[in-house]
Chain A
């Protein structure tokens, strides 16, 4: 009902504004004022007040939301542009990911999120590959992402590509249900001074600055720094959850465009963050990375790139005491120290008239040291892993408008040895505006430290309560996908992606025969998921754009006949069946922008290990009003989760569960 109500309200509001605007024949600055798309601020009156740097970041296509080549990519891809990120008022990468129709983003507390695509969104979700500027950021500790360690100035993000469905052929292990590729702007796109600052009810205060300049002709750099102080969320009864979060980050990027054939990028980031944890104690994390990439274009329309990076992360995580009579361990701190070294090579070339071939080689070395807390350990505490990988893919033109892409990744990992991740994709461009694609792929999620080395001790010395399984195998998937993407006239674009996935060897928990404990991770689940993702953009008027998204998911995960799982197959899923997203973006007179975003998220079933519980469905809404006062200064006010004082998105409902509070903040940005 609420959704119906909102739909009506948005339409009525829109109609009213539309009429008012039509009557307004003298917009500011004497310009006609109503000519461009709101996706990038509208019309000559707005563009002329932009700095050169801002102008260089405007997309010239007004409706095609996915700039080439994404618009033509035969995959379920949703590209979040920098403009959409700015207009959403997102202050962090996880908040920006709410803009993707093909993700499920659930905020757990002030500093933690559960993010997944096409299901399996558990606390230990491990089926999404996430990269930032080519650097893989999921942790080998559990195969998931510490979202609280991934940050940038939102201003410096160029785009976020969210691909739902398997991407193992190109990207390797963990790209089972999706790939998120976060891309920052090139240094030549961030020239000049940028300063931002503000604060509000939940995001207490924040500030950031960036300066971009040139080192020599066509060699660009930027340096930036930011910090924020995120306040406490609330418990179910409205009391303070004591989970505030402070973080600071600095970094640089250099892009050398001096020669037409060679492009060199060097970049690095360093951060430190402190988080209070509602169950007691304070988590600390810090780290940094440094990356270099050399791309070379050959004369015969082929190119190669060579990339290397080093990343270091450090985590001190308070682990609550366990009062279960069989465990009885006091609270303590788990320390995780991780070094990652990675080299990646890629080469693309044409073979004859019909073959476009890409192949590559990669090597990654990780060194991880874990120091146990009383209630949680990893055994062995120190682990070195080598990951060798290679891939090849051939895109074959079968005709003018028909393409077949065949490829595979071959990886060798520490736990399971060789893994093979092939895929075949067919793309048919019916017309230049209508494209149908289909794919069959295999992908795997290789074991993580949790699967193989986790150890929860019990009161009996030498007999853990739960332990990892050194015989744990990779979880595997065979995915069938069918999609359609279209542009209807100048104003409407739409994308529909459907899938049917078979999974096997999904993680389960079993008992030790005779003694019951230790519980041990096994691969006793299998099952199917199916669903579809729909996205639609409509440029109603030059200054007003609407976006709608719908995500439908069915999951059937079960214990293999004759096997066991103490969680009855419920521990690997916590996913809404339906998600609906609606957004309205308007460019109004007097250099103002007004954006509304509503989302309705279906209820989800979550497992506590003993019983099932339900996180209720919710409807929430974000809004942003921004005023470009002068060419250099913009004021904005952002409201997040405005409809309720607080609401639950994730976690086992109970008095100590953390909920997400309504948040309002103001922001001033200055560009020179």
Chain B
């Protein structure tokens, strides 16, 4: 019994080693971040003036290179926020995304953060990024990794001054940061 079982287990482990390996699909990190974006949309209230019309969609803009590889589209597909259908728009130019309610600023734009934020200043748009210091520089929410887990910083002053209402639950889960003195 003992010997045969050992052989069986070795065989099993061997099978695992030689079985073919598939290429990775969407990264788990960005699937999780996409789900965060979807959650942010639910935990923030936009003023009615943020939408061009009552039937207008809720737009999530991706500015710069899209790191989500389809995970964001898969996340929001068929979903609505307060009866606004959620859509994703992509652009390399912030001006194209000014009708969006949320803009994800890709890492590829890290050198242009100041220009982007000044272009969006005082508009009711929630800016989200993953560039170090984004929230301190006047961004709304910034992802960072704590070990292997996704965390976010939130700058409540910026968001609220633009007319957005952020739920207490979101504030309690994020790390609160304030705008650095030299900005604004």
In the assembled complex, B179 has its CB within 8 A of some CB on chain A: no
Q: How far is the CA of A121 from the CA of B95 in the complex (A)?
A: 69
B residues 138-175 touching A (CB-CB < 8 Å): 145, 147-151, 169-170, 172-173, 175
Q: Which of A50-58, A351-359, A606-614 contacts B (4 or more CB under 8 A)?
A: A50-58
B interface footprint on A19-53 (CB within 8 Å = 1, 0 otherwise): 00000000001111111110010011101101111
Chain A residues contacting B9 (CB-CB under 8 Å) are 3, 548, 550, 580, 582, 600
Assess whether B1 is in contact with A578, with CB atoms less than 8 Å apart.
Answer: no
With A44-B71, A578-B2 already in contact, the answer to whether A489 and B21 are too (CB < 8 A) is: yes
Assess whether A68 is in contact with B148, with CB atoms less than 8 Å apart.
Answer: yes
In the assembled complex, A104 has its CB within 8 A of some CB on chain B: no
Chain A residues contacting B26 (CB-CB under 8 Å) are 35-36, 44
In the assembled complex, A59 has its CB within 8 A of some CB on chain B: yes
Interface size class of B (residues with CB under 8 A): 35 or more
With A3-B9, A4-B4, A4-B8 already in contact, the answer to whether A60 and B172 are too (CB < 8 A) is: no
Which residue of A32, A55, A191 is within 8 Å of B172 (Cβ)? A191
In the assembled complex, B51 has its CB within 8 A of some CB on chain A: no
In the assembled complex, the CB of A153 is this many whole angstroms from the nearest CB of chain B, namely 19
Nearest opposing residue in chain B for A534, CB measure: B13
Chain A residues contacting B149 (CB-CB under 8 Å) are 56-60
Nearest opposing residue in chain A for B77, CB measure: A30
Nearest opposing residue in chain B for A51, CB measure: B39
In the assembled complex, B62 has its CB within 8 A of some CB on chain A: no
In the assembled complex, A316 has its CB within 8 A of some CB on chain B: no
Assess whether B75 is in contact with A52, with CB atoms less than 8 Å apart.
Answer: no
In the assembled complex, B117 has its CB within 8 A of some CB on chain A: no
Interface size class of A (residues with CB under 8 A): 35 or more
Q: How far is the CA of A33 from the CA of B70 in the complex (A)?
A: 12
In the assembled complex, A312 has its CB within 8 A of some CB on chain B: no
Q: Which of B29-37, B53-61, B100-108, B118-126 contacts A (4 or more CB under 8 A)?
A: B29-37
A interface footprint on B24-46 (CB within 8 Å = 1, 0 otherwise): 11111101101110110001000
With A55-B36, A60-B32, A490-B24 already in contact, the answer to whether A32 and B148 are too (CB < 8 A) is: no
In the assembled complex, A67 has its CB within 8 A of some CB on chain B: yes
With A4-B5, A31-B77, A44-B31 already in contact, the answer to whether A67 and B175 are too (CB < 8 A) is: no
A residues 47-85 touching B (CB-CB < 8 Å): 47-48, 50-53, 55-62, 64, 67-68
Chain B residues contacting A578 (CB-CB under 8 Å) are 2, 5-6
Q: Which of B12, B25, B78, B175 gathers most chain A CB within 10 Å?
A: B12
Which residue of B12, B16, B22, B176 is within 8 Å of A541 (Cβ)? B22
Assess whether A1 is in contact with B2, with CB atoms less than 8 Å apart.
Answer: no
B interface footprint on A530-543 (CB within 8 Å = 1, 0 otherwise): 00001010101110
Assess whether B5 is in contact with A36, with CB atoms less than 8 Å apart.
Answer: no
A residues 577-597 touching B (CB-CB < 8 Å): 577-578, 580, 582
Q: How far is the CA of A60 from the CA of B130 in the complex (A)?
A: 14
In the assembled complex, A108 has its CB within 8 A of some CB on chain B: no
Assess whether B31 is in contact with A600, with CB atoms less than 8 Å apart.
Answer: no
Q: How far is the CA of A617 from the CA of B27 in the complex (A)?
A: 42
In the assembled complex, the CB of B181 is this many whole angstroms from the nearest CB of chain A, namely 17
Which residue of B28, B76, B172, B175 is within 8 Å of A62 (Cβ)? B28
Nearest opposing residue in chain A for B35, CB measure: A47
In the assembled complex, A218 has its CB within 8 A of some CB on chain B: yes
A interface footprint on B66-86 (CB within 8 Å = 1, 0 otherwise): 000011101111110000000
Nearest opposing residue in chain A for B43, CB measure: A52
Assess whether B31 is in contact with A218, with CB atoms less than 8 Å apart.
Answer: no
In the assembled complex, the CB of B168 is this many whole angstroms from the nearest CB of chain A, namely 9
Chain B residues contacting A60 (CB-CB under 8 Å) are 27-29, 32, 145, 148-150
With A47-B31, A55-B35, A491-B22 already in contact, the answer to whether A548 and B13 are too (CB < 8 A) is: yes
With A52-B36, A60-B29, A214-B172 already in contact, the answer to whether A602 and B2 are too (CB < 8 A) is: yes
With A4-B5, A217-B176, A600-B5 already in contact, the answer to whether A490 and B148 are too (CB < 8 A) is: no
Which residue of B2, B43, B77, B147 is within 8 Å of A577 (Cβ)? B2
Chain B residues contacting A52 (CB-CB under 8 Å) are 36, 39, 43, 169-170, 173
Assess whether B71 is in contact with A35, with CB atoms less than 8 Å apart.
Answer: yes
Assess whether A36 is in contact with B173, with CB atoms less than 8 Å apart.
Answer: no
Which residue of B8, B78, B79 is within 8 Å of A7 (Cβ)? B8
Chain A residues contacting B79 (CB-CB under 8 Å) are 48
In the assembled complex, the CB of A626 is this many whole angstroms from the nearest CB of chain B, namely 19
Q: How far is the CA of A220 from the CA of B16 in the complex (A)?
A: 43
Assess whether B21 is in contact with A59, with CB atoms less than 8 Å apart.
Answer: no
Which residue of A3, A58, A67, A491 is within 8 Å of B8 (Cβ)? A3
Chain B residues contacting A198 (CB-CB under 8 Å) are none
Assess whether A61 is in contact with B28, with CB atoms less than 8 Å apart.
Answer: yes
Please name 20 further chain A to chain B contacts, defined as beta carbons within 8 Å, in addition to the given A61-B28, A617-B2, sorted by A numbering: A3-B9, A7-B12, A29-B77, A31-B74, A31-B77, A36-B26, A36-B31, A44-B26, A44-B71, A44-B75, A48-B79, A52-B169, A60-B27, A67-B148, A191-B173, A217-B176, A492-B17, A492-B21, A541-B22, A603-B2
Pairs across A and B, CB under 8 Å, 22 listed: A1-B4, A3-B5, A30-B77, A33-B74, A36-B26, A43-B31, A44-B72, A47-B75, A50-B35, A53-B173, A55-B32, A56-B173, A60-B28, A60-B148, A60-B149, A61-B28, A191-B172, A492-B21, A536-B16, A541-B22, A546-B16, A550-B9
